[in-house]
Amino acid sequence: MNVDLFDFHLPEELIAQTPLLERTSSRLLMLSKESGQVEHGVFTDLADKLEAGDVLVLNDTRVLPARLLGKKQETGAKVELLLLTQLENDRWEVLAKPAKRIKVGTVLCFGENEHGEPILTATVEAEADMGGRTVKFNYNGIFNELLDQLGEMPLPPYIKEKLDEKERYQTVYSKHDGSAAAPTAGLHFTTQFLEQLQTKGVQLAYITLHVGLGTFRPMSSDTIEEHEMHAEYYELSEETAQILQRARDENRRIVAVGTTSARTLETLGQRFKEDKLQACNGWTSIFIFPGYEFQLVSALLTNFHLPKSTLVMLVSALASRDHIMHAYNVAVQEQYRFFSFGDAMFIY
DSSP, residue by residue, 313-336:
HHHHHHH-HHHHHHHHHHHHHTT-
One-letter identity of residue 123: T
Model pLDDT for residues 269-327, shown as the tens digit of each residue? 999 999 999 999 999 999 999 999 999 999 999 999 999 999 999 999 999 999 999 99
pLDDT at 222 over 80: no
Categorise residue 6: left if φ over 0, alpha if ψ from -120 to 50, beta otherwise. alpha
pLDDT at 70 over 70: yes
Strands 203-209 and 55-59: parallel
Model pLDDT for residues 72-98, shown as the tens digit of each residue? 999 999 999 999 888 988 999 999 999
Interior angle at CA 227, CA 223 and CA 233, nearest 5: 155
Q: What is the pLDDT of residue 218?
A: 65
One-letter identity of residue 6: F
> Alpha-carbon Rg of the chain, whole angstroms?
21
pTM of the model: 0.91
pLDDT at 265 over 70: yes
Burial class (CB in 10 A: 0-12, 13-18, 19+), 331: buried
- Domains with residue ranges and CATH for the chain: 3-63+166-347 (3.40.1780.10), 67-150 (2.40.10.240)
Query: Could you give the strand order of the β-sheet that contains 299-303, starting from the edge strand earlier in sequence?
Result: 38-42, 27-31, 344-347, 299-303, 254-257, 55-59, 203-209, 232-236, 280-284
- Quote the CA–CA distance of 57 and 125 in Å, as a whole number: 38
Higher per-residue pLDDT: 181 or 53: 53
Q: What is the pLDDT of residue 45?
A: 98
- Quote the CA–CA distance of 114 and 74 in Å, as a whole number: 20
pLDDT at 342 over 70: yes
Model pLDDT for residues 100-135, shown as the tens digit of each residue? 999 999 999 999 999 999 999 999 999 998 889 999
Give me the mean pLDDT over the 23-52 stretch. 98
Q: What is the pLDDT of residue 83?
A: 94
Which of 301, 309, 248 has its CA nearest to residue 274? 248
Model pLDDT for residues 139-191, shown as the tens digit of each residue? 999 999 999 999 999 888 778 777 778 899 999 999 999 998 999 999 999 99
- Quote the CA–CA distance of 260 and 35 in Å, as a whole number: 25
Give me the mean pLDDT over the 29-46 stretch. 98
Strands (E), the chain: 27-31, 38-42, 55-59, 61-63, 67-72, 78-86, 91-97, 107-112, 118-127, 132-139, 176-179, 203-209, 232-236, 254-257, 280-284, 299-303, 344-347
pLDDT at 195 over 70: yes
- pLDDT band at residue 217, thresholds of 50, 70 and 90? low
pLDDT at 212 over 90: no
Contact status, residue 54 vs residue 253, Cβ threshold 8 Å: yes
Q: What is the pLDDT of residue 226?
A: 80
Strands 67-72 and 107-112: antiparallel
Contact status, residue 205 vs residue 244, Cβ threshold 8 Å: yes
- pLDDT band at residue 215, thresholds of 50, 70 and 90? low
